């Protein structure tokens, strides 16, 4: 069905993401050189990764193990065998002039990942994930910073041969929010299974977005452009939004969208054309003759299967159920392993009854404060034990929530012993009904004119009066009276 475009035509975006993840193995994909970010240039190199004549690749077994872990975590099929191919293209920082990659027999096929969208859970299908080697890195010296117009260029082969997994989603993503949710969840999953440090800023996780638009209701996909060079979730979101708007404007004005690779310019906030998009046959793929097919053994599959850790989605569900915390708090904890550990230890000391308070205090009072100071939680003065004790005092009504916040502020700042600080700061909450009743009586006697207005007051007025008496009682008790008890005493004394 072809839809006639008018100015009122509604469009939808169709987005697929290709994510390259650098695997954090000790050595490279086909040689024993260290896989180490930040070494001096050309120090982690050997004849294999420099592609000297006569050198032969040997597959790193750990890479296959990592690929199997990814297979488990993203619900992929892992076929009996997969095959390496040579992908031929010229690039100055690729010493072989081809990249050893996988083509029509990748190690992982047909996976999926669930993401949370504004309309609930959505399943994004993943077409494939395959193993391949990274290229080197060139630096173009001169005012342009690019190859064209450079005075000269330097090349560092440390990264050549570093193992990558390329994870290719199906075009199931429909907005920049979903694209960000997908990458963010994928990052959490890969981090939890310990296969990569997944840092977008350092390039150990690189995202390319294939974006097209079509009128709502049209089956046929529009022409897509591939966007590169987004190095944060934020730039991914901005680049996708820009590209959707650009393509809709083109289609509306009757101009064609060109199939091409586009470069995201973070400062300019727009994409620009880099080169026309290659087709698969431009790469002249052929099976790598120096490597046998990869056939993971049953033992290896079983070893990986039985050693899989809890995945982020499972962990969130468990926390929401067992700790009675919100989904958003569970997300915050699961995406911050150090903070999760901090709360987890507190809960193991104080029991699951304090889990809800411990989580919210940890996120707002502790982590919030530490973020401002730029301090990591594992070196902060406050301990999990402190947090557990504060939460237990709140649970036993010995400390109000406001007092707990004051106390946590001190602990975050300089640490200390909870029981001594409670004394020192005069933070003990008074819950003795007799003592509190005496205060309420005194306040009501002192403000008898206001009490006299109670009988004829409407609901709004009563609320105000109650707040007023409450304030006076709290002041009288120097902030130490239990507010719930004060409230119920005031209510019962004023009557209906």
We find the least distance from the C-beta atom of residue 147 to Zn ion, in angstroms, to be 25
Nearer to Zn ion, 34 or 397 (CB): 34
Question: Cα–Cα distance between 440 and 403 in angstroms, integer?
Answer: 21
Cα torsion angle, 200, 205, 208, 211, sign: negative
We find the least distance from the C-beta atom of residue 351 to Zn ion, in angstroms, to be 53
3-state secondary structure at position 122: strand
Kind plus residue range of the DSSP H or E element containing 68: helix 61-73
We find the least distance from the C-beta atom of residue 23 to Zn ion, in angstroms, to be 15
Select from 49-57, 174-182, 352-360, 456-464 the region that touches Zn ion (CB under 5 A): 49-57
Nearer to Zn ion, 95 or 215 (CB): 95
We find the least distance from the C-beta atom of residue 38 to Zn ion, in angstroms, to be 17
Strands 120-133 and 137-141: unpaired
Kind plus residue range of the DSSP H or E element containing 226: strand 225-230
CB contact at 8 A, 372 and 382: no
DSSP 210: E
Nearer to Zn ion, 51 or 223 (CB): 51
Nearer to Zn ion, 95 or 312 (CB): 95
Select from 46-54, 119-127, 163-171, 399-407 the region that touches Zn ion (CB under 5 A): 46-54
Nearer to Zn ion, 46 or 345 (CB): 46
We find the least distance from the C-beta atom of residue 161 to Zn ion, in angstroms, to be 6
Question: Cα–Cα distance between 341 and 472 in angstroms, integer?
Answer: 41
Instruction: Give the one residue of 46, 274, 320, 349 binding Zn ion; rule: CB under 5 A.
Output: 46
Which of 293, 298, 265, 262 has the alpha carbon at shortest distance from 277?
262
Nearer to Zn ion, 23 or 49 (CB): 49
We find the least distance from the C-beta atom of residue 164 to Zn ion, in angstroms, to be 15
Select from 39-47, 55-63, 104-112, 256-264 the region that touches Zn ion (CB under 5 A): 39-47
Question: Cα–Cα distance between 316 and 184 in angstroms, integer?
Answer: 14
We find the least distance from the C-beta atom of residue 321 to Zn ion, in angstroms, to be 48
We find the least distance from the C-beta atom of residue 65 to Zn ion, in angstroms, to be 20
Nearer to Zn ion, 33 or 319 (CB): 33
Strands 260-265 and 225-230: parallel
We find the least distance from the C-beta atom of residue 42 to Zn ion, in angstroms, to be 11
Nearer to Zn ion, 54 or 120 (CB): 54
Copy the structure tokens of residue 285: 């793929």
As beta bridge partners, residue 286 has 86
The label of the residue with tokens 């190690």 reads 107
Residues 408-447 that bind Zn ion (CB under 5 A): none
Residues 184-203 that bind Zn ion (CB under 5 A): none
Nearer to Zn ion, 48 or 195 (CB): 48
User: Considering the rule CB under 5 A, would residue 126 count as an interface residue with Zn ion?
Assistant: no
Copy the structure tokens of residue 418: 């909870």
SS3 content of the chain, % helix, strand, coil (to 5): 40, 20, 35
Select from 40-48, 229-237, 426-434, 444-452 the region that touches Zn ion (CB under 5 A): 40-48
Exposure letters 334-362 (e unless 16+ CB within 10 A, then b): bbbeebbebbbbbbebbeeebbbbbbbbb
3-state secondary structure at position 50: coil
We find the least distance from the C-beta atom of residue 291 to Zn ion, in angstroms, to be 15
| Residues near Zn ion (CB under 5 A), total | 5
CA dihedral 39, 44, 49, 53 (to 10 degrees): 130
Residues 14-33 that bind Zn ion (CB under 5 A): 31, 33
Q: What is the DSSP string of 285-314?
A: -EE-TTSPPB---HHHHHHHHHT----HHH
Select from 45-53, 367-375, 460-468, 477-485 the region that touches Zn ion (CB under 5 A): 45-53
Instruction: Give the one residue of 19, 21, 23, 49 binding Zn ion; rule: CB under 5 A.
Output: 49
Nearer to Zn ion, 60 or 235 (CB): 60
3-state secondary structure at position 16: strand
CB contact at 8 A, 345 and 353: no
Nearer to Zn ion, 159 or 180 (CB): 159
Select from 44-52, 115-123, 137-145, 359-367 the region that touches Zn ion (CB under 5 A): 44-52
Residues of this chain that interact with Zn ion (CB under 5 A) are: 31, 33, 46, 48-49
């Amino acid at each position: 069905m072809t839809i006639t475009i008018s100015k009122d035509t509604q469009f939808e975006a169709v987005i697929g993401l290709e994510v390259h993840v650098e695997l954090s193995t000790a050595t490279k994909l086909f040689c024993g050189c260290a896989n180490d970010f930040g070494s001096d240039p050309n120090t982690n190199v050997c004849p294999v990764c420099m592609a000297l004549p006569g050198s032969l690749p040997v597959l790193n077994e750990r890479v296959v193990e990592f690929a199997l872990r990814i297979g488990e975590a993203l619900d992929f099929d892992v076929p009996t065998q997969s095959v390496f191919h040579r992908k031929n293209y010229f690039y100055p920082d690729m010493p072989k002039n081809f990249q050893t990659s996988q083509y029509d027999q990748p190690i992982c096929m047909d996976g999926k990942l669930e993401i949370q969208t504004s309309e609930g859970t959505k399943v994004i299908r993943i077409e494939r994930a395959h193993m391949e080697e990274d290229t080197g890195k060139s630096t173009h010296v001169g005012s342009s910073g690019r190859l064209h117009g450079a005075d000269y260029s330097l090349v560092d082969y440390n990264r050549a041969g570093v193992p990558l997994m390329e994870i290719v989603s199906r075009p199931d993503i429909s907005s920049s929010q979903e694209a960000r949710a997908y990458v963010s969840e994928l990052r959490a999953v890969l981090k939890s299974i310990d296969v990569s440090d997944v840092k977008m800023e350092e390039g150990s996780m690189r995202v390319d977005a294939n974006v097209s638009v079509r009128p709502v209701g049209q089956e046929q996909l529009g022409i897509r452009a591939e966007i590169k060079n987004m190095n944060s979730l934020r730039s991914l979101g901005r680049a996708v939004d820009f590209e959707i708007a650009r393509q809709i404007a083109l289609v509306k004005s009757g101009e064609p969208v060109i199939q091409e690779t586009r470069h995201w310019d973070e400062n300019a906030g727009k994409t620009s054309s880099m080169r026309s998009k290659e087709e698969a046959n431009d790469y002249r793929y052929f099976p790598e003759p120096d490597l046998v097919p990869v056939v993971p053994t049953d033992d290896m599959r079983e070893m990986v299967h039985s050693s899989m850790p809890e995945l982020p989605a499972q962990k969130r569900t468990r926390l929401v159920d067992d700790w009675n915390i919100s989904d958003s708090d569970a997300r915050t904890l699961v995406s911050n392993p150090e903070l999760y550990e901090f709360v987890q230890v507190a809960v193991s000391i104080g029991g699951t009854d304090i889990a809800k308070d411990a989580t919210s205090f940890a996120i707002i009072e502790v982590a919030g404060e530490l973020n401002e100071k730029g301090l990591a939680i594992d070196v902060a003065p406050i301990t999990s034990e402190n947090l557990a004790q504060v939460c237990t005092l709140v649970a036993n009504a010995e400390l109000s929530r406001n007092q707990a916040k004051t106390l946590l502020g001190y602990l975050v700042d300089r640490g200390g012993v909870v029981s001594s600080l409670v004394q020192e700061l005069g933070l003990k909450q008074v819950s003795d009904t007799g003592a509190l009743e005496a205060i309420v009586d005194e306040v009501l006697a002192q403000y008898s004119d206001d009490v006299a207005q109670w009988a004829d007051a409407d609901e709004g007025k009563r609320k105000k009066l109650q707040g007023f008496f409450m304030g006076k009682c709290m002041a009288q008790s120097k902030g130490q009276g239990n507010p719930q008890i004060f409230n119920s005493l005031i209510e019962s004394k004023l009557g209906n």
